[in-house]
Amino acid sequence: MTETLAVQTARTPEDTLKRMRERLKGVVPDVELQLKADLVFEINRLKVERNAVILGHNYMEPALFHSVPDYTGDSLELSRQSAETDADIILFCGVQFMAETAKILSPHKTVLIPSLKAGCSLAAGITAADVRLLKKWYPDAPVVTYVNTYADVKAESDYCCTSGNAIAVVTHLLSEGHRQIIFLPDEYLARNTAAELGLDFVLPPVLRSEEPVIGKDPTIIGWRARCEVHEKFRPEDVHHVREQFPDVAVLAHPECSPEVVAVSDKTGSTKQLIKFVRDLDAPQYLLLTECSMGDNIAAENPDKDMLRLCSFRCPYMNEITVEDTLDALRNTQYEVSLPPEIIERARTPIDRMLEIR
Ligand code: 13P
Ligand code: SF4
């Protein structure tokens, strides 16, 4: 449960505004809070009336993140929450693949996403047919699929993983004796995971007609897809920031390139990055991930000096607004629906992932 509870239990729009100010005054200008408070009050009222639970990814904008979700977190935490809720409606303030995962885990519930434009460049970077081809090339290798994929791709997979448990999932497969592991679709997460575990890394052939590349044993076989946001951070950006702020703690999401990870102080999922800021004592912190998260952390930790590198934003996460969230609840839109056969097949790799602690 999040600390947004204080805002959610406000009894009037005026009280909602007062509590939003208490929470967000150092981060969101008052004029914006005034614009959003009535909407937030109405979302929280309707949520109770409709027996809905709102899940909010860590990348949501501060006025939404700190005011309406019952649960916030990274992909892994929100997957767990989707499997456990007893609400009738799950309203997912995140991107499509996250809402699909909620639907797979709670197929009899109504799962809503506030915008149809909330995609993901990684998820769009691989198809189910690509996975079938990879399985032909590497018949003995289990397929680990990042949750940032669509349901039909998960349906072709053996295990899912998130950035929070990729190392644990691959370690589990190594302990079962697997020497080749297909890891899809994020090339950088796969490379970073291989580097962390001291494994070889290869990319598959580009053309269907080519012979598969075999790496040194044990190997991770990756795929050529990247997050369009995280791939833009460069090592020289980090060097520049360090010249200006020599003791800054640089915290990178593992969708950043291995070169960027190498010059950062810590790497982890969005949840882990939040924890690093809480636990580390540094004069400044720089997050190499979607910019809104810096604001969300600043609201919660007014004593921490968060630097921002906000030139690159996730256009898909930014599609989810307070206004659309209210419309989603009012009009029961946009409902996530998946073929039952895909739900059944995609559930197994997600369940296997959730069993690994
Ligand atoms: P997390 O699982 O770390 O929250 O990341 C999701 C994501 O989309 C990162 O770009
Ligand atoms: Fe997808 Fe990247 Fe946006 Fe995350 S930040 S949702 S991986 S495009």
Lowest mean pLDDT among 168-172, 203-207, 256-260: 203-207
Q: Are residues 127 and 222 in the same domain?
A: yes
Residues 105 and 142 in one domain: no
The CA–CA distances, whole Å, from 240 to 21, 171, 261, 271, 286 equal 35, 35, 15, 26, 12
Check whether residue 131 and residue 34 sit in a common domain. Answer: no
Both tokens of 259, joined, read 């070169």
- The yes-or-no verdict on residue 311 having pLDDT over 50 is yes
Q: Return the higher-pLDDT residue of 340 and 206.
A: 340
Pocket residue to mutate for ligand 1, from 122, 193, 255, most atoms within 8 A of Cβ? 255
The answer to whether residue 185 sits within a structural domain is yes
pLDDT band at 262 (very low <50, low <70, confident <90, very high): very high
Shared-domain flag, residues 114 and 182? no
Cβ atoms of 238 and 307 within 8 Å: the answer is no
Confidence of residue 1 (pLDDT cuts 50, 70, 90): very low
Its sign, for the CA torsion 65, 51, 82, 148, is negative
Domain edge (last residue) among 175, 207, 226: 226
Inter-residue contact 59 to 293 (CB < 8 Å): yes
| pLDDT of the residue at 4 | 60
| Per-residue pLDDT at 168 | 97
Decide: 69 and 93 in contact? Cβ < 8 Å: yes
Q: Which of 8-12, 142-146, 207-211, 341-345 has the lowest mean pLDDT?
A: 207-211
- Residue 53's alpha-carbon distances to 50, 89, 110, 136, 308, in angstroms, are 9, 6, 11, 41, 31
Q: What is the pLDDT of residue 270?
A: 95
Residue 339 lies in a domain: no
Cβ–ligand 1 contact at 162 (below 6 Å):
yes
Q: Using 50, 70 and 90 to split pLDDT, how confident is the model at 115?
A: very high
Residue 338 lies in a domain: no
**Same domain, yes or no: 110 and 135:** no
Q: Is the pLDDT of residue 355 over 60?
A: yes
pLDDT at 225: 97
**Mean of per-residue pLDDT scores for the chain:** 94
**Would you state the pLDDT for residue 330?**
97
Strand spans (E) along the chain: 52-57, 71-73, 89-93, 110-112, 143-146, 159-161, 180-184, 200-202, 219-221, 249-252, 266-267, 285-288, 306-307
Q: What is the pLDDT of residues 11-37, one digit of tens each?
A: 999 999 999 999 998 899 999 999 999
Asked if residue 350 belongs to a domain, the reply is no
Nearest protein CA to atom 4 of ligand 1, as residue = 74
Q: Which residue's structure tokens are 């497969």?
A: 173
CATH code of the domain containing 111: 3.40.50.10800
Residue 104 lies in a domain: yes
Average pLDDT over residues 325-329: 98
Residue at 336 is within a domain: no
Integer angstrom CA distances of residue 189 from 97, 123, 184, 220, 307: 17, 13, 9, 11, 24
* The last residue of a domain, from among 226, 246, 263: 226
Q: Is residue 281 helix, strand or coil?
A: coil
Q: Are 296 and 58 in contact (CB under 8 A)?
A: yes
CA of 61 to the centre of ligand 2 (A): 15
Which atom, in ligand 1's list, is nearest to the CA of 75? 2
Where a domain ends, among 226, 250, 274?
Answer: 226
In a shared domain, residues 107 and 133: no
* Cα first-last separation, the chain: 20
Per-residue pLDDT, 5: 65
Domain identity same for 321 and 261? no
pLDDT of residue 7: 83
Confidence (pLDDT) at 36: 96
Q: Is 9 in the same domain as 57?
A: yes
Q: What does the block give as tokens for 308? A: 């921002």
348 falls within a domain: no
In this prediction, residues 48-63 reach a mean pLDDT of 96
Is the pLDDT at 207 greater than 90? The verdict is no
| 141: three-class secondary structure by DSSP | coil
Query: What's the confidence (pLDDT) of residue 312?
Result: 85
The residue count for the chain: 357
Question: Between the CA of residue 242 and those of 238, 260, 273, what are the distances in Å?
Answer: 6, 13, 18
Tally of structural domains, the chain: 3
For ligand 1, atom 6, which residue shows the shortest CA distance?
75
* Tokens matching residue 84: 């456990």
Alpha-carbon distances, residue 3 vs 65, 71, 320 (angstroms):
10, 9, 20
CA-based torsion, 200, 205, 208, 212: positive or negative: negative
Residue of minimum CA distance from atom 5 in ligand 2: 314
Residue 20 CA from chain centroid, whole number: 25
Assess whether 20 and 115 both reside in one domain: yes
Protein residues with CB under 6 Å of any ligand 2 atom? 95, 120-122, 148, 227-229, 255, 290, 314, 316-317
Q: Is the CB of 75 under 6 A from ligand 1?
A: yes
Same domain membership, residue 128 and residue 114:
no
Which three-class secondary structure state does DSSP give residue 110? strand
**Residue 167 sits in the same domain as residue 196:** yes
Which pLDDT score is estimated for 82?
85
Domain identity same for 23 and 95: yes
Structural domain harbouring 86: 5-120+317-331
Mean pLDDT of 93-112: 96
Residue 345 domain-assigned?
A: no
Per the CB < 8 A criterion, the answer to whether 68 and 93 are in contact is yes
